[in-house]
Structure 1
């Protein structure tokens, strides 16, 4: 079940239910219901937010097992990530870049 996997990864990260909900920008009550298998069909957007905060791919939440070394990214994304890593871009710089682009897209819509 997806909820059981969310809880497993959340606990591995040492996050409380409240912390994950706040960081991911999702309702704590919905997250709790999902972990208790009351809710069983979360949206892709919800899973993206939670997976991102847990530092995993959606595949890790959907599939029972994800083979070691299997990222869930298509070949082109893997190539881009490896290129960024090889060029010396740090995780923090990459996160900042993504946050800036999210901010930029949000402000363009307004």
Structure 2
């Protein structure tokens, strides 16, 4: 959800949508589409234009956006750590996940 992250950074800087669009050299409507996740895959060139006035790099913009989207709470983190310590491999997790999906599909029938 890069759009939400861009909006948070914009608001932290105290920029309006118009001000950031002007500083980035992109249209206000396009920036609005990005922030509202109507445009989910802006080009690296556009992200670079947005990142500069926000005082971040494109890498930081993308990395922080991904981290926010996939942040695990403490309970999940501990559960994953215990599973790894017990010898669970990625392949084991994937197999278990696929089994759960299979079970859920059969419940719906």
- TM-score of Structure 1 vs Structure 2, range by shorter chain: 0.5 to 0.7
Number of equivalenced pairs: 66
- 4+ residue runs of structure 1 moved beyond 4 angstroms? none
Task: Trace 1:79-94 onto structure 2 (pairs within 5 A).
Answer: none
Matching residue of 1:86: none
Quote how far apart the aligned CAs of 1:57 are.
Answer: 0.9
Matching residue of 2:61: 61
Matching residue of 2:38: 38
Cα deviations across residues 37-80 of structure 1 (Å, max 9, x unaligned)?
Answer: 10000011100010001000112221234xxxxxxxxxxxxxxx
- CA RMSD across the alignment: 1.4
Select the structure of larger CA radius of gyration.
Answer: 2
TM-score, length-scaled by structure 1: 0.57
User: More helix by proportion, 1 or 2?
Assistant: 2
Matching residue of 1:19: 19
SS at match of 2:56: coil
Higher RCO (C-alpha under 8 Å, 6+ residues apart): 2
Matching residue of 2:8: 8
* Alpha-carbon distance in 2 for matches of 1:21, 1:45: 14
Structure 1 gaps, min length 5: 66-110
